Structure 1
């Protein structure tokens, strides 16, 4: 699974958000937008949560097949 965090560039924000200096971090899971955060640390925390959940799901699936 691929989870990544990127800062949204100004061309993908409203004029109001750009004018007020709002920063937005997007979280993508397998190239699908799954979260938007105004705080980078919250975005990174969410990314880690998704990765942990995926690892647990993968481990359970492998255990069930054994």
Structure 2
């Protein structure tokens, strides 16, 4: 399973979000968007949870 965290490109944010200075962190699992977070730490925690669940499922 591939899980990755990326910062959303500002060109993919609404004008309102850009004006407010918001950052969005996307979590993709096997190239599918599975989560969006305003905090990079939360995004990485979710990634770790997904990887942990996957490892438990395969054992």
Does the TM-score normalized on the shorter chain lie above 0.5?
Answer: yes
* Higher RCO, Cα 8 Å, sep 6+: 2
Residue in structure 2 matched with residue 2 of structure 1 by the alignment: 2
- Equivalent residue pairs, number: 59
Residue 51 (1) aligns with residue 51 (2): yes
Q: Give 1 or 2 for the bigger CA radius of gyration.
A: 1
Residue 16 (1) aligns with residue 46 (2): no
Q: Which runs of 5+ in 2 are unaligned?
A: none
Runs of 4+ that moved beyond 3 A? none
Distance in 2 (CA, whole Å) between partners of 1:20 and 1:49 is 29
Deviation at 1:20?
A: 1.0
Query: TM-score under structure 2 normalisation?
Result: 0.97
Query: TM-score under structure 1 normalisation?
Result: 0.87
